[in-house]
Structure 1
Amino acid sequence: MSDDSKGSGSTGINTRLAHAGYNPRDYHGFVNPPVVHASTVLFPDARTMDRRAQKYTYGTRGTPTTDALAEAIDELEGSAGTILIPSGLAAVTVPLLAFAKAGDHILVVDSVYHPTRHFCDTMLTRLGIETEYYDPAISDITTLMRPNTTIVHTEAPGSNTFEMQDIRAIADAAHARGAVVMMDNTWATPLYFRPLDFGVDISMHAATKYPSGHSDVLFGTVSANAKHWEQLHDAQIALGTCASPDDSYQILRGLRTMGIRLERHQQSALELAQWLETRDDVVKVLHPALPSFEGHDIWKRDFKGASGLFAFVLKEPDAAKHKEAGFAFLDALKIFGLGYSWGGYESLAVMANLADRKIAKAPEGGPLIRLQIGLEDVADIKRDLEAGFAAVKAAR
């Protein structure tokens, strides 16, 4: 559904989320689509089978359940097509494999999700593809482009440290040299930022996060513009990276409430970020929606909202004690779970490791604590964080 009116029409976003991707009249009026479990699909006759002249031919190529979700994502993204795959990491690796080949040079932002970096430094290196990491603060990447640069990978905000990127400027420079532009848009979701509207060719999303919303599904979506859709789709078929109908159903169900959940995540996280800025035991708060944040102007210009994930630097002047201070803070938390991932209904905290950075500098002054703000009451979350600060003070 590449028609832009599908993604920015007269109806509100929550209305579109409630109805996108499925018409109950297609299945006897049932509100939710059926979960179609399929591997083998039968043909009415040999001629039809020989020509594959029917909509569904084999389970790996889609079912009514997966089509319902893909169509809903296309409506949100304004994309020509969407593939559904088993994890958020696969949402990055599959398009990289789809568009890179031996001898290519690709540019990847240095604030990238660490598993993406690991894939580039291992699998892509073995395939003869060179990865160069670039500073997220750079808008004009022209001087970094080479004759063999085929992909520019972006992620905004950046993992853990939330650097903003000027996506339009980067896309224009990449396209001038014939490169494909990809973006990991998991933080904002297509509700708060639509990459294809800013020149991105491939929009990736870990649907494990906000579309799922309940920390119980691993899932990825990749959406492409018309120019790049066929190549992306062909790669998925070749790799066999299909998503299960049960997980697709769960993600489609999560989409129905994602808008109102994101509103709560955004409101609570911003209130807590503003509160953290007032504390003497916090060096810096990394949240794009804060006016004090370095990339705030880009966020304000291009994004429609913020999600529930941000970070802060816990004050600890002694670098040798950073890890112990972080441990003391995290171990005192009761409402916050200590776990990776985010986007679910529950609050999570983790001490970020930025040792993989090559260009972008890590914030100084103490350990970096990343917070996923869930749907709990803000007053309770705040008391939990206060317990963490008290534990750090007591440990000193």
Structure 2
Amino acid sequence: MTGNNEAGMMTKLAADWHDESDYSYAKVSPISMSSSFVFDNLDDLDEVYGGKEGYIYSRIDNPSTNYVNKLIAGIEGYDEAVTFGSGMSAIITAILAFVQQGDHVIASTVLYGGVHDFLKNELPRFGIDITFINFVTDNVEDYIKPNTKIVYTETISNPLIEVIDLQAIADTAHKHGALFIVDNTFATPSVCKLINFDVDVLLYSATKFLGGHSDITCGIALANGDHAAAIRTKKSLYGGIISPFEAWLLTRSLRTLDLRVQRHCDNALKLAEYLEKHPKVKKVYYPGLASSPFRQLAEKQFEHNRFGGMLSVEFTGGYDGVDKFIRECKLIKFIPSLGGYSTSLTYPAKTSHRGHTPEELKTSGISAGLLRFSVGLENIGDIINEMENVLSQI
């Protein structure tokens, strides 16, 4: 038990949040595959629009999405979770909920390429300025302007697996009246609880580790009070909703999240330690390594001695070497995604960061020899054996 008698994460995730008597005492909550809901009279309709719990139209809310929203909010500690049809939908909606023409946003140079492209290409179309900085080496306060409304980053950066000082950046943002918005996809709540670092809006591509089975596409935004209400309102307006079936699948996945993440983390550390010693590897990016410049900060911010299931590797053979590596792999699949049950790899320069210019790739530290690995749930010895065999051929 925890010191404050609060139930642990796995206990919360294993609990049934629905009233079984509502569903003929079914153990598992059913999928509410309904686009709309029936009212007996106008008064009942007005009460739901006025805030009484109930359902009107599934673009606004649905029992299946409401169920998973409560489950996620419960383990994260935020007032409310809002689910979306994709991670990008969650991110874009959360950002647009808090900016308007004339505002300014600060974001990390090293982050998911799709978000970088949105910030770089779309925000200026609406008269919103964007400044990209290195959150590891730059002082955020030096870039704050009177019209700065959002400071945006990732808990663990994509694809360089950097760790930034969350509390320091939160304090700087709040000092100047800006919101601190963080994507926690690579970490998950099993590694880092962002509520502990005064993060205003927490984001996920739940397609990844939270979903965990490579069979759903969805996103999540979590916030408190008026911030949550603003995101929920924009979600209904923009229409980027999750389907009831995918909400149900996400609920299923969350039941085993903490167990899966522990395995991801254990395997990732073992793989990183193996690769760090290999002569054909120039550099391994993983905060759990004793040699990592982020090890001390990661130990401070992350829980249960976990460092995540993602690592990136720069190979000595450059582009030709990684191309050969990809072609020779059998167990490790080349997949432009991450967070599934099996180990996969991707080539950021041609997938997640394909929209980057050569200069932006250089600034972001994405070299021609860089591969990003999402470490799965296999027996890690089998993955290491494949690595050994493939590396001997390149």
Per the normalisation by structure 2, the TM-score is 0.92
1:375 aligned onto 2:374: no
SS at match of 1:391: coil
The one-letter code sitting in structure 2 at the alignment partner of 1:108 is: A
The answer to whether the 8 Å contact 1:140/1:173 transfers is no
How many angstroms apart in 1 are the aligned matches of 2:265 and 2:140? Answer: 31
Q: Deviations over 1:200-250 (max 9, x none)?
A: 100001110112111110000100022412212221122122211000000
1: CA distance, partners of 2:19 / 2:335: 37
2:364 and 2:233 mapped to 1: Cα distance? 38
Distance 1:359 1:138, change over 3 A: farther
Contact 1:85 1:220 in 2 (8 A): yes
Would you say 1:34 and 2:36 are equivalent positions? no
Q: What 5-or-longer segments of structure 2 have no aligned partner?
A: none
Instruction: Give SS of 1:190's match.
Output: coil
Contact 2:190–2:257 at 8 Å: present in 1 too?
no
The answer for the alignment partner of 2:308 in structure 1 is 307
Q: Cα RMSD (Å) of the superposition?
A: 2.1
Contact between 1:91 and 1:221, CA under 8 Å: does it hold in 2? yes
SS at match of 2:308: coil
* Structure 2 counterpart of 1:12: 8
Instruction: Give distance in 2, aligned partners of 1:381 and 1:116.
Output: 31
2:267 corresponds to which residue? 268
Q: Classify 1:280/1:200 alpha carbon distance in 2 versus 1 (closer, same or farther; 3 Å).
A: same
Measure, in 1, the Cα distance between the counterparts of 2:92 and 2:17: 26
Instruction: Give the match's secondary structure for 2:94.
Output: helix
Matches within 5 A, 1:41-80: 41-51=37-47, 52=49, 55-80=54-79
Q: Is the 8 A contact 1:20 1:72 kept in 2?
A: no
Alpha-carbon distance, 1:94 to partner: 0.8
CA deviation vs aligned residue, 1:339-378 (integer Å, no higher than 9, x gap): 11111111111222265537855177x6011111111211
Deviation track 1:239-272 (CA, whole Å, cap 9, x = no partner) reads 1222110000000000001111111111111111
Secondary structure of 2:136's aligned partner: coil
Alpha-carbon spacing, 1:359–1:334, altered in 2? closer, same or farther (3 Å): closer
Does 1:325 find its partner at 2:299? no
1:362 to 2:365 alignment: yes
Aligned to 1:384: 386
Contact 1:39/1:58 (<8 A) preserved:
yes
2:87–2:206 Cα contact (<8 Å) kept: yes
**Structure 1 residue 22: deviation in Å?**
3.4
Q: 1:157-207, CA deviations, whole angstroms, 9 ceiling, x for partnerless residues? A: 110101111011001100111101100000111121111220110000111
The aligned residue for residue 108 of structure 1 is 107
Task: Give secondary structure in 2 for the equivalent of 1:275.
Answer: helix
Distance in 1 (CA, whole Å) between partners of 2:262 and 2:392 is 30
Matched residue type, 1:255: L
Measure the CA separation in 2 of the matches of 1:258 and 1:196.
18
Show the counterpart of 2:201: 202
SS at 2:234's partner residue?
Answer: helix
Using a 3 Å threshold, how does the CA distance of structure 1 residues 332 and 105 change in structure 2: closer, same or farther? same
Contact kept? 1:188, 1:307, Cα under 8 Å: yes
Unmatched runs of 5 consecutive residues or more in structure 1: 317-321
Identity %: 28
CA contact (8 A) 1:157 1:288 kept: no
Check whether the contact 2:348–2:366 (CA below 8 A) recurs between aligned residues.
no
Q: Deviations over 1:46-104 (max 9, x none)?
A: 23334546521221121221111000110111111111100111121110111111111
Q: Is 1:178–2:177 an aligned residue pair? A: yes
2:252 is aligned with 1:250: no
CA deviation after TM superposition for structure 1 residue 283, in Å: 1.3
Q: What residue number does 1:137 align with?
A: 136
- Is 1:349 equivalent to 2:365 in the alignment? no
- What's the counterpart of residue 120 of structure 2? 121
Determine the C-alpha separation between the residues in 2 that align with 1:339 and 1:363. Answer: 18
Q: Deviations for 1:303-350, whole angstroms, at most 9, x for unmatched residues?
A: 11222211111113xxxxx21111011111000111111111111112
- Any idea what SS the aligned residue of 1:204 has? strand
